[in-house]
Structures are given as C-alpha cells and as structure tokens.
Amino acid sequence: MGQTNTLTALGIKNAKPGKLFDGGGLTLVRSQTGGKWIFRYSFQGRRREMGLGPYPKLSLSAARKLRDEWASVLLNDLDPISEREDKRKQSASPSDRFDPTFSEACDVAFEALKAGLRGDGTRGRWRSPLDIHIIPKIGKIRVSRLTQDDIHRVLKPIWKTKHETASKALERMNKILVHAKLCGADVDPFIVTAARHMLGLHDHKVKPITATPWQDLPELFGQLSKDTPSHMALQWSILTVTRGDSARGARFSEIDGDVWTVPADRMKGARNKVTEFRVPLSPAALVLVERARLFSTSDFLFPSPRKGCVTVQALTKILNNMGEAGRPHGFRTSFRTWVQETDACGFDVAEMALGHVIGNKTERAYARSDLLERRRTVMTSWGSYVSGEAANVVDIGSTKLRR
C-alpha cells in the first residue's frame, strides 16, 4: 500500500507492554503475554479503531495483510467496520441469527411493552387474544417464515364471529413483529396488513352495553338494598357513575370527607397518561359508605369473601338473578341520559362526572379545573333521585315538606 513498515517479528517478541506502531494505521497493543492488533483510520472525519485479532495468534505479516485489505475498502469510501459487520451478518449461520418463534417473539415484545400497559398488561389482558387464538396454532413458527397466509388461516374462523377479538389480535401481532424486526429478526410486519386485506371488510356493528332506563333506576336501587358487598357495590356504581374497576375497588382510605379520590391506576387510559380522579359523594353515597363500614373487615368497601374486592361476575350474577338486563357499566349511560332529558347540568359537567376527557390537548392545557363543586350539585341531585329521597319531598310554595 506504499506505507513504511517499522516493526519486526523479533522486535515485537522482545518489546515491553505498550503500543507499537507499524505504519499505515496498524498498531499492536502489547501485553505481558500477548497483545491485540488494531487498524486505526479516519472515516468521514471520525477516528475509528478496528480490531484485527490477537497476537501472537495473528502474526505480523498476517496483520499487515488484513490492514492492507481494509485500507483498500477505505479507499472506496466505505467504512471497514460497517462492511465487516455486514459480511458477518450475511455469513452467519441460522443458529446465530435472531429468529425467534412467534411465541418467543411475543414474550420478548411483551416484556418490552408491558411497562406502558395498565397493570403491566394483566389488567387489560393484552396477551389474551394471542394466547387463545394465535399462539396455539402458529406459535412454533419462526418469524422469518411467518406469512400472511398463516395469519389469515388462524383468524379467518373468528373474523366475523369474534371480530373485536380478531382485530385486537392483528393489532398486537403487528406490534410484536415490528419489535422483532427492530431487534434484528428477518421479518416483514407488512404481512399483518396483507392478512387484514385478505380477511376482507367486515360490517361490524358495535353493540352498546345494555343500560337500565333512568326512569327504572330508583326501583332497582331499592331492590339492591341488601347488606352484602355485591349489592352495595352495585348501589355504589349507580350513585357514583364510575367505571367497574374504580367502583368495585373503592377503599375507605381513598375517601376524605365527601370526596372519593380514585387513583390513576384504576382509571381508564394508558399508563402515565391518566391522573387520579376526584368524585364528589352525595349524601346517599355517604350513607352507603357508613353501611359498608359495618360489614367490611378490610380497607375495601366491598371486599370479596376470598381476596381483594368483589368481582364483576358477582355483580352480573345478582342482576341476572333479578332478571335485570342492564349491566353495571350501563348505569353510566342511565346517568347521562337522565342529565340530557332533565337538563340537570351542562355538557362539560356531565362529561367530567363520567371521567371523560373534555376538549383537545391545547384546550385541556388551559382549562385545568375538574369542576368539582359543580359536579357535587348534580351528583347530589342524582343521588337523591335514584335513592328515592326526591320522591319523598313535596313543594308547597317556597317550603319543602317531607311526606
């Protein structure tokens, strides 16, 4: 290559530990018993050091030959280190490449993603559609050999009968394959999009959760007056119009005066994107809190006989036994319809009472109030209505008398 070589085999053998320079960027980092060869060069203004091999396994002449080969690559305006890495990847045996089975790729992706999922992915059962419908059938196929035909085959039987589940499975398969590709696997996540196209369009009509008509809630509320955790939890759901996880998991330690603060981890939404939510408790709700104190032996208002709080299945069973078609989540719709048909409050107050996000990101950055005082008024009216208290008051002029 035209450079001046300064080292000799005998000189290296007798040299003390340190750096020995041969010319053309070839350097030997000498140790007491051996050493390592390094090719030092500049690429696009950046100094780089490329390891060539150990001394004395790699002799001086062999090291010079490698230096000359990589110097030729450098003359072609290519980075020797990058070029060597590409060659290694191309020549790597299948066992050396990252090519997990789909089941293994799912495990790897889930571990990486779960920190951003509610309850580390267990609360929303992130893996459920995959563990039930996908992994048992194609979990052993390596991602490099996975095709859109495989995905189409496993999802076709449920594409129409369980469309929501199938859609969730597709969405999560895409995340898994994207993660696998970013980890170095030879896989094209586009096969998920192709499979969706093969499955075809589906006129999926979302069936709303059955809601008890608001006119019937006072009667239902009265029928739920038994002093069991499940009956009281249903009454609590009606009075507070909160979602299932929030209501069933209510704790005495979360209540301060007439305000119940639901922690962020029981609110709907992605982790780190939701905050705790204050719920103003009506007089009827406060009465229920005191009733619950008489029967609970833990911090839970509505404890389970086994562990933790009552389950959604326990609440649903009570409604089914009563012949009530409405579901616990439907009580929120009952409240919203009551507001709409009675003009009980404005839109913002009603939506905030349900814990809904109001306005866009910019609007929320300025309007930061949770409208607690205004919500307290409407929740008191709602509590009076469903508990039957309002029916026991008669207006006589400006005077209100109880019957």
On the question of pLDDT at 244 being above 50, the answer is yes
Query: What are the DSSP calls for 245-270, one per residue?
Result: HHHHT-BGGGEETTEEEE-GGGSSS-
Instruction: Tell me which of 118 and 243 has the higher pLDDT.
Output: 243
Name which of 58-72, 74-88, 379-393 the model is least confident about.
379-393
* Ramachandran area for residue 44 (φ above 0: left; ψ -120 to 50: alpha; else beta): left
pLDDT at 53: 92
Average pLDDT score over residue span 264-281 = 77
- The mean per-residue pLDDT over the stretch 18-31 comes to 92
Tens-place pLDDT, residues 84-139: 887 876 765 555 578 899 999 999 999 988 877 766 556 558 899 999 999 999 99
**Average pLDDT value for residue range 294-303:** 91
pLDDT of residue 361: 56
Average pLDDT, the chain: 85
What is the distance between the alpha carbons of residues 369 and 311, in angstroms, rounded to a whole number? 33
Looking at residue 320, its pLDDT comes to 94
Question: What percent of the chain has a predicted confidence (pLDDT) above 90?
Answer: 60
Q: Give ∠ CA 250-323-229 in degrees, rounded to 5.
A: 25
Under CATH, which number does the domain 9-91 receive?
Answer: 3.30.160.390
- pLDDT tier at 403, thresholds 50, 70, 90: very low
Mean pLDDT confidence for 362-372: 60
Give the closest residue to 301 by CA, choosing from 313, 314, 285, 324.
285
Asked whether the predicted pLDDT for residue 401 surpasses 50, the reply is: no
Contact 331, 209 (CB under 8 A): no
Q: Which of the following CATH numbers is that of domain 102-199: 3.30.70.1170, 1.10.150.130, 1.10.3260.10, 1.10.150.530?
A: 1.10.150.130
Q: Which CATH number fits domain 214-402: 1.10.443.10, 1.10.10.200, 3.40.50.1980, 3.30.470.20?
A: 1.10.443.10
Angle, CA 99 vertex, CA 97 and CA 101 arms, to 5°: 155
State whether residue 101 is helix, strand or coil: strand
pLDDT of 320-352, one tens digit each? 999 999 999 989 999 999 998 999 898 888 888
pLDDT of residue 398: 33
Q: Rounded to whole angstroms, how far apart are CA atoms 256 and 232?
A: 19
Pairing of strands 277-280, 393-396: unpaired
Of 225-239, 302-316, 368-382, highest mean pLDDT: 225-239
Token readout for 308 is 């933790």
CA–CA distance, 99 with 187 (Å, rounded to integer): 9
CB atoms within 10 A of CB 178: 14
Q: Mind listing the pLDDT tens digit for each residue in 157-211?
A: 999 889 989 999 999 999 999 999 998 888 999 999 999 999 988 765 666 788 8
Q: Where are the domains of the chain?
A: 9-91, 102-199, 214-402
Q: Determine the average pLDDT of the residues in 279-297.
A: 93
Which tokens sit at 234? Answer: 């249903």
